[in-house]
């Protein structure tokens, strides 16, 4: 008779697509302390900022067979591809490869927001709809906008020229570390076969950009102002700063979402599933104040 006490339960094998991204890199650092095996799916042969506790597999989205090869033997998959025109095709390709290789659970980083033609919100909706039709357990993480988006304003704040088309609209911002903490829980929790879950992740409160400017004034010791522009004026300014038309449209779309106060919702999900409250924006600004000097 087999002695059960001497048998070893195989480690859970988790693949992370987007391992070098903002959320993915924090997620990997958190998982490296858990009794799991983490595999980073990467398009780089020597990925930067990857823990030496993590193995990596090179995948090529132009060669779907490499996706399947990279997912053989994997139990769970985390997908955070990053915003690009190829996002829909690439994430759907990963989902399809995961289904073919028998992965039991997919956790996708999506975004909170309404049905809208504005990208990347519209892209995530297409990917979520595809995932929902697959015979695999899934968890969708829908965070509000990352606090990190404010880093784009760093040079403007430092020069005293911060402006945008957000108007007086409010937005709830969330720290990427809180998203990573929630992603870790989602990957480690046991889920029923073919279950479908969605977690709406938010920070503790909503802000206007004018209120963010007031907080920056307090931290920097001099007055920071946010100047209102029309979407057309903002587009012209972004293109003059050297942003591509693709990125400019994404940023203007985000400002439109802010201006309309679409993302003001506050949930308790982060605290309920991680045991810790979401981080305050004022604390994030204090830690990252050098970006605005």
> Residue 51 — pLDDT band, cuts 50, 70, 90?
low
> Residue 46 — pLDDT band, cuts 50, 70, 90?
low
CB atoms under 10 Å from CB of 134, counted, come to 16
Ramachandran assignment for 49, one of left (phi > 0), alpha (psi -120 to 50 degrees), beta (any other): left
> Residue 166 — pLDDT band, cuts 50, 70, 90?
very high
Per-residue pLDDT tens for 90-102?
A: 999 999 999 999 9
> Residue 188 — pLDDT band, cuts 50, 70, 90?
very high
Does the pLDDT of residue 82 top 80, yes or no? yes
Residue 42: per-residue pLDDT = 84
- Those residues with Cβ within 8 angstroms of residue 7's Cβ, 6 or more apart along the chain or in another chain: none
**Helix, strand, or coil (residue 288):** coil
Q: What is the dihedral of CA 31, 37, 38, 39, to 10 degrees?
A: 180
Residue ranges of E strands in the chain: 12-17, 36-42, 55-58, 76-79, 105-109, 137-143, 145-146, 163-164, 171-174, 196-201, 206-207, 227-228
Look at residues 61, 69, 63 and name the one whose alpha carbon lies nearest to residue 88: 61
Go through the domains of the chain in sequence order and give each one's CATH number: 4-144+176-202+265-279 (3.40.50.720)
Residue 33: per-residue pLDDT = 87
* pLDDT, averaged across the chain: 92
SS3 content of the chain, % helix, strand, coil (to 5): 45, 15, 40
Residue 11: per-residue pLDDT = 86
**Helix, strand, or coil (residue 215):** helix
More reliable by pLDDT, 1 or 118: 118
**Residues 215, 153: contact at Cβ < 8 Å?**
no
């Amino acid at each position: 008779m087999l002695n059960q006490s001497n048998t070893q339960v195989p480690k859970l094998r988790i693949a992370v697509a987007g391992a070098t991204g903002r959320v993915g890199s924090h997620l990997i650092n958190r998982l490296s302390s858990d009794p799991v095996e983490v595999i980073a799916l990467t398009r780089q042969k020597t990925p930067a900022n990857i823990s030496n506790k993590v193995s990596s597999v090179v995948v090529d989205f132009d060669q779907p067979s490499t996706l399947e090869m990279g997912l053989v033997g994997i139990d769970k998959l985390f997908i955070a591809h990053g915003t690009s025109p190829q996002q829909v095709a690439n994430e759907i390709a990963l989902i399809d490869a995961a289904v073919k290789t028998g992965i039991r659970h997919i956790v996708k980083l999506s975004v909170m927001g309404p049905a809208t033609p504005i990208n990347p919100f519209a892209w995530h909706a297409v990917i979520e709809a595809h995932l929902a039709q697959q015979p695999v357990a899934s968890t969708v993480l829908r965070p509000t906008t990352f606090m990190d988006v404010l880093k784009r304003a760093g040079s403007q704040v430092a020069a005293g020229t911060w402006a945008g088309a957000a108007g007086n609209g409010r937005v709830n911002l969330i720290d990427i570390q809180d998203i990573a903490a929630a992603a870790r829980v989602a990957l480690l929790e046991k889920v029923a076969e073919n279950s479908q879950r969605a977690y709406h992740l938010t920070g503790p409160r909503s802000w206007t950009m004018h209120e963010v400017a007031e907080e920056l004034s307090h931290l920097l010791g001099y007055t920071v102002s946010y100047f209102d522009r029309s979407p057309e004026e903002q587009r012209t300014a972004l293109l003059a700063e050297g942003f591509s038309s693709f990125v400019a449209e994404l940023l203007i779309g985000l400002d439109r979402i802010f201006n309309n106060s679409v993302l003001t919702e506050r949930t308790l999900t982060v605290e309920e599933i991680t045991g810790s409250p979401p981080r305050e924006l004022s604390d994030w600004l204090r830690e990252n104040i050098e970006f605005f000097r």
